[in-house]
Amino acid sequence: MQTRAVPQIHQVGSQEGHGCTSGVPVAARASKGSPAILVLVALIAAPLVGPATLAASRSAEKERAEPDAFAEYEQLRALHGTPPFGVGEDHLVFDFEGARFELEAGEISLQQPLRSGAVTGFWFEGDGRFVLDVPDEYELSQLRRFTRDEELTGLEVSFDRLFVQVAAPELVRPLTALAAERELLDGPWGAPPYWVRGRQTAWLLEQHHDPASRVLAALSTFGERYLRAVLRIEEHGWVTFSFDARRREEIELLHHTRANLALAPNFGESWLSLDQASDRDEDGRAAPEPGGFSALEHLDAEIELLELGENPASGFGANHPIDARIDVAARLRSLRDGLGAVVLQLDPRSRIERVRSASGRTLPVLRFPRGELANHLDDEWGNREFVVLLEEPLRAGEQVTLQLEYLLELSNFAPGLSWHPNSTDYELRPFTASMLFRLRDRYDVLASGQEVDSGRDERGEWSRWEMQRPSRIVGFTFARYAHTARFEWDGVPPLTLFGTTGGYLSVQRIEDLSRFFEGNLRCLVDLLGPPDAEEMVVTLINAGHSQSFEGFLQVSENIAKKGRLGVAVHGTKELLAAHELAHQWWGHKVKPDSYRDAWLAEALAEYSAALCVRDSVDDGERVFADIVDAFRNEVHGSTAGAFNAFARPGLSVRNRFERDRMPPISHGYRAAVRHNPFAVVSTVYRKGALVLHMIDQLLRIETGSRDAFLALLRRLSDRGVATRLRTDDLMHELEAVSELDWRLLFEQWVHRAEVPTWRSQVTIGPQARSALLRIEQRDAAPEFTSWAPVRATLRDGGFEERLIQVRGLETEIEVRFEGVVDTVEIDPGFAIPVRQRGGRSARAGELHRSHRAAGG
């Protein structure tokens, strides 16, 4: 098999002329355009593209001479522009989806127009103002924290530099008119300033985003608008405002940071994310309807696992990577009229050889070679996101099949969402799949779905797998000298374990894992009911992470290690196994609706796993307390308990440094912050699990039932496979069984980011039948409200529990008890995820004597 460097930008294979449907010609050059260009102007100006109009556009498309798409792509990347010219006496104002750019004084350069006359960018140096409306209260709260301005009602800042890449005719029309008056649109064209090139590089390397390819994709799709603008503001440096019609939430504001590209290549601090104005609800928040321009419906892949990769064997199982050759036929469905390009995502290490249409025609692939700019990456690395220009625009509902051929080095597994092209345009939609594997001698493979056939031919061993029921992710694991063991137990689905017997792994170590998975699987079935999958397959992979597919798990082979020197490990393997198994319920059987609800899948899986560890291991209550303690320390940024088996002290240190910038749980994958790109783990997984623990304890005290929360989990799980779970669904379930103000709790703990600090004092009354509780609350908004359990241990050996409301800067409340108390403690089990300071408890005798002494 050839391992040549694969061209990523130029045409591969047939050199038939093909290009994007040209963009909108500027008004100043419209008179020089062809009739086809004038037809295109009318199409883009129209609000909707009907079938008749689309047919006419296709006819016009065939009649005109198509420009070379790669030449246009290279031209856009080159960023050649006009000589700078002044904005004139009347400053220029551009309004775009709630954002306003005001160019008051300075000089502008327009990017060289495309062959059609479309101007797709400009840069400006001078005095400008940027104004952005922020109708979403939660997003506004995020912006206030990042800008450190609590009085902020929207964003209004000055800038001195602005660089814009755009496919929106209304934005560039005034500028092109000015340039036409000065006769600058016919050249000469010069190189951009150094800072423009620097901002382009930041987009490409730090954010995996290639504006040039996205501009051409937008110009190829009728009615699509795209804008990406970076501006330098005095208070905060470089900030990017973008509008991407292919995102579910089209508007985004990113703050540029100096990140370690080796650790966090796709890093930018997300300050805002908003729906376009026409899609927002009455509170200015994102509507529940999904977005997207295309959907993957079926994947037919032939995967050759025949050639060894260049890297050496590694991992606990001494796995030698395979240079996989993958041929994929991806069937896509258009979700809108006039779709002329699809935006796909693929592992950046993949080397695309070519993409063909169903007719066999080689299609243009626009993919930026990131490895050429980044010293820490192989030269053959490409951008994760790339664009394929279609032969002709599609109507909504029409299908197209793309045949992709590429190479990808795999350790011993294919991770979901990255090994195959996914055209969901930021949406995870279910699809079916068929996979034919060709294997090296002594290799075996297991995959999502079922094996339907296998055999041997002149090319060696082969195995075919089908995933007939639609799923959102699909993966596979392969191994040399593999061992497969199947286990059947009463009351739970059968389990298959699969892994290599190379390196330090062995048949015994693989089969010993069955006890972890059996105990947790049995616990989860008892807790949540039967999963949707009829059987479970667990495969060991050479990685530090794990991933759960429907009925198919990829678990880090590190789970087979005996332990870490000097660190207690009791319960850690069980927690890992239970978390991945729990995703069969939280993530597959019940799916989160959007990224803002993704915390439900991760936090519910994490907390369900912790509950199973509590109920299945020796000394489970203590282990469960260690889990909760480790989560609290990580969220609070404390290194206390660093030798706790479940602790991640490195993340704790980062969280302490970035405490004021940590985002809300509901921001999901947007939770990366300036010096902590992994804050999503602490926020979504750990803090989310702590919130569920708080709900569990509050519900137990308020209803008087230890099983109230468990019953709630079962009701959520019983919603079934068609359910898309939203945060509000959990809130409504709680409101149905409890009178606490759950809406306020979710607003404070899920949609806002504050983690208050409490300083408490407990004073027991003279008769030991009451206690005066004082709680000072800091590090939160003055109106922050929460609840706290209070537990009184009685002298007769019993106990009483109460719930108190903590609100504002200081709360003072007297709590009365039926019996004579011995001790009173605020939040004895650390159910509330606040930072606790001061005396949370008091003993009646000591405080009574102190009280009498104080009274004379």
In the predicted structure, residue 853 carries a pLDDT above the cut 50: no
Instruction: Provide the pLDDT confidence category of residue 88 given band limits of 50, 70 and 90.
Output: confident
| H/E segment holding residue 69 | helix 69-78
Instruction: Give residue 810's pLDDT.
Output: 94
Instruction: Give residue 272's pLDDT.
Output: 92
In the predicted structure, residue 14 carries a pLDDT above the cut 60: no
Instruction: Give residue 287's pLDDT.
Output: 75
Residue 203 φ then ψ, to 5°:
-60, -45
In the predicted structure, residue 686 carries a pLDDT above the cut 80: yes
- Asked if 394 and 339 count as a contact pair (C-beta separation under 8 A), the reply is yes
Which of 350, 382, 386 has the alpha carbon at shortest distance from 369? 382
- Asked if 775 and 758 count as a contact pair (C-beta separation under 8 A), the reply is yes
In this prediction, residues 129-133 reach a mean pLDDT of 95
| H/E segment holding residue 826 | strand 821-826
Least confident range of 62-76, 129-143, 399-413, 549-563: 62-76
Instruction: Provide the pLDDT confidence category of residue 10 given band limits of 50, 70 and 90.
Output: very low
Instruction: Give residue 744's pLDDT.
Output: 94
Instruction: Give residue 87's pLDDT.
Output: 85
Query: Above pLDDT 70, what percent of the chain?
Result: 88
In the predicted structure, residue 55 carries a pLDDT above the cut 60: no
Question: What distances in angstroms separate CA 39 from CA 23, 44, 435, 840, one per listed residue?
Answer: 11, 9, 44, 74
Q: From CA 46, how far away is CA 49, in angstroms rounded?
A: 7
Residues contacting 116, CB < 8 A, separation 6+: 22, 23, 24, 25, 33, 37, 40, 67
Instruction: Give residue 674's pLDDT.
Output: 66
In this prediction, residues 172-193 reach a mean pLDDT of 90
Please provide the average confidence, as pLDDT, over all residues in the chain: 85
Q: From CA 265, how far away is CA 385, in angstroms rounded?
A: 13
Instruction: Provide the pLDDT confidence category of residue 444 given band limits of 50, 70 and 90.
Output: very high
Residue 601 φ then ψ, to 5°:
-65, -45
Q: Omega before 782 cis (within 30°)?
A: no
Per-residue model confidence as pLDDT tens digits over 726-778: 999 999 999 999 999 999 999 999 999 999 999 999 999 989 999 999 999 99
Instruction: Give residue 658's pLDDT.
Output: 79
Tokens 């995959």 sit on residue? 447
In the predicted structure, residue 721 carries a pLDDT above the cut 70: no
686: left (phi over 0), alpha (psi -120 to 50) or beta: alpha
Instruction: Give residue 680's pLDDT.
Output: 87
Q: From CA 51, how far away is CA 516, in angstroms rounded?
A: 58
In the predicted structure, residue 9 carries a pLDDT above the cut 60: no
Instruction: Give residue 63's pLDDT.
Output: 36
- Asked if 466 and 450 count as a contact pair (C-beta separation under 8 A), the reply is yes
Q: How far apart are the first and last CA of the chain?
A: 93
Per-residue model confidence as pLDDT tens digits over 565-624: 444 578 888 999 999 999 999 999 999 988 899 999 999 999 999 999 999 888 999 999
Return the number of other C-beta atoms located less than 10 Å from residue 728's C-beta. 14
Q: From CA 305, how far away is CA 407, in angstroms rounded?
A: 11
DSSP readout, 292-345?
-SEEEEEEEEEEEEEEE-SSPPBTTTTBPPEEEEEEEEEEEEESSTTEEEEEEE
Q: From CA 112, how far away is CA 176, in angstroms rounded?
A: 11
List the 339-345 sheet strands across, edge first: 339-345, 385-394, 365-366
Structure tokens at 60: 């016009």
In this prediction, residues 481-489 reach a mean pLDDT of 96
- Asked if 583 and 538 count as a contact pair (C-beta separation under 8 A), the reply is no
Instruction: Provide the pLDDT confidence category of residue 258 given band limits of 50, 70 and 90.
Output: low
Q: From CA 388, how far away is CA 402, in angstroms rounded?
A: 9
Which of 445, 483, 447, 496 has the alpha carbon at shortest distance from 467? 447
In the predicted structure, residue 790 carries a pLDDT above the cut 80: yes
In the predicted structure, residue 150 carries a pLDDT above the cut 60: yes
In the predicted structure, residue 852 carries a pLDDT above the cut 50: no
Segments in 183-246 forming alpha helices (H)? 194-206, 211-220
Q: From CA 638, how far away is CA 825, in angstroms rounded?
A: 23
Which of 469, 435, 438, 432 has the alpha carbon at shortest distance from 452? 435
In the predicted structure, residue 417 carries a pLDDT above the cut 90: no
Q: From CA 492, how far away is CA 154, in angstroms rounded?
A: 54
In this prediction, residues 713-720 reach a mean pLDDT of 89
Which of 517, 525, 503, 566 has the alpha carbon at shortest distance from 546? 517
Query: Which is more confidently placed, 199 or 722?
Result: 199
Q: From CA 87, how far away is CA 108, in angstroms rounded?
A: 7
In the predicted structure, residue 822 carries a pLDDT above the cut 90: yes
- Asked if 334 and 398 count as a contact pair (C-beta separation under 8 A), the reply is yes
In the predicted structure, residue 30 carries a pLDDT above the cut 50: no
Q: Is 586 exposed, middle or buried (0-12, 13-18, 19+ CB in 10 A)?
A: buried
In this prediction, residues 252-271 reach a mean pLDDT of 67
In the predicted structure, residue 343 carries a pLDDT above the cut 70: yes
Instruction: Provide the pLDDT confidence category of residue 267 given band limits of 50, 70 and 90.
Output: low
Least confident range of 19-33, 120-134, 302-316, 726-740: 19-33
Q: What is the pTM of this model?
A: 0.87
Write b or e for each residue in 268-280: b if 16 or more Cβ atoms lie within 10 A of its Cβ, otherwise e: bbbbbbbbbeeeb
Please name the amino acid found at residue 382. G
In the predicted structure, residue 537 carries a pLDDT above the cut 50: yes
**Residue 541, beta-bridge partner list:** 556
Instruction: Give residue 291's pLDDT.
Output: 73
Per-residue model confidence as pLDDT tens digits over 62-83: 333 345 889 999 999 999 999 9
**Residue 436, beta-bridge partner list:** 302, 464
Residues contacting 526, CB < 8 A, separation 6+: none
- Asked if 350 and 381 count as a contact pair (C-beta separation under 8 A), the reply is no
In this prediction, residues 142-147 reach a mean pLDDT of 88
Q: From CA 426, how far away is CA 343, in angstroms rounded?
A: 10
Query: Which is more confidently placed, 428 or 131?
Result: 131
- Asked if 531 and 493 count as a contact pair (C-beta separation under 8 A), the reply is yes
Structure tokens at 286: 């994102």
In this prediction, residues 494-518 reach a mean pLDDT of 93
All structural domains of the chain, each given as residue ranges with its CATH number in brackets, are: 71-279 (no CATH), 486-752 (1.10.390.10), 757-854 (2.60.40)
In the predicted structure, residue 18 carries a pLDDT above the cut 60: no
Q: From CA 794, how far away is CA 11, in angstroms rounded?
A: 81
In this prediction, residues 231-241 reach a mean pLDDT of 93
Tokens 């519900």 sit on residue? 699
Instruction: Give residue 563's pLDDT.
Output: 60
Name the CA radius of gyration of the chain, rounded: 30
- Asked if 829 and 701 count as a contact pair (C-beta separation under 8 A), the reply is no
Tokens 């191994």 sit on residue? 479
In this prediction, residues 816-820 reach a mean pLDDT of 94
Per-residue model confidence as pLDDT tens digits over 379-396: 788 889 999 999 999 999
Least confident range of 344-348, 406-410, 560-564, 594-598: 560-564
Rounded to 5°, the CA angle 464-467-470 comes to 160
In the predicted structure, residue 784 carries a pLDDT above the cut 50: yes
832: left (phi over 0), alpha (psi -120 to 50) or beta: beta
Instruction: Give residue 782's pLDDT.
Output: 87
Mapped onto helix, strand or coil, the DSSP state of residue 436 is strand
Instruction: Give residue 622's pLDDT.
Output: 92
Structure tokens at 326: 């993958």
Instruction: Provide the pLDDT confidence category of residue 262 given band limits of 50, 70 and 90.
Output: very low
Q: From CA 218, how far away is CA 167, in angstroms rounded?
A: 6
- Asked if 446 and 476 count as a contact pair (C-beta separation under 8 A), the reply is yes
Rounded to 5°, the CA angle 493-497-500 comes to 170
Tokens 């079922």 sit on residue? 450
Instruction: Give residue 846's pLDDT.
Output: 62
In the predicted structure, residue 122 carries a pLDDT above the cut 60: yes
Per-residue model confidence as pLDDT tens digits over 620-661: 999 999 999 999 999 999 888 888 888 888 888 888 887 778
Tokens 């051929």 sit on residue? 405
Instruction: Provide the pLDDT confidence category of residue 431 given band limits of 50, 70 and 90.
Output: very high
Mapped onto helix, strand or coil, the DSSP state of residue 816 is strand
Return the number of other C-beta atoms located less than 10 Å from residue 353's C-beta. 19
**Residue 332, beta-bridge partner list:** 296, 400
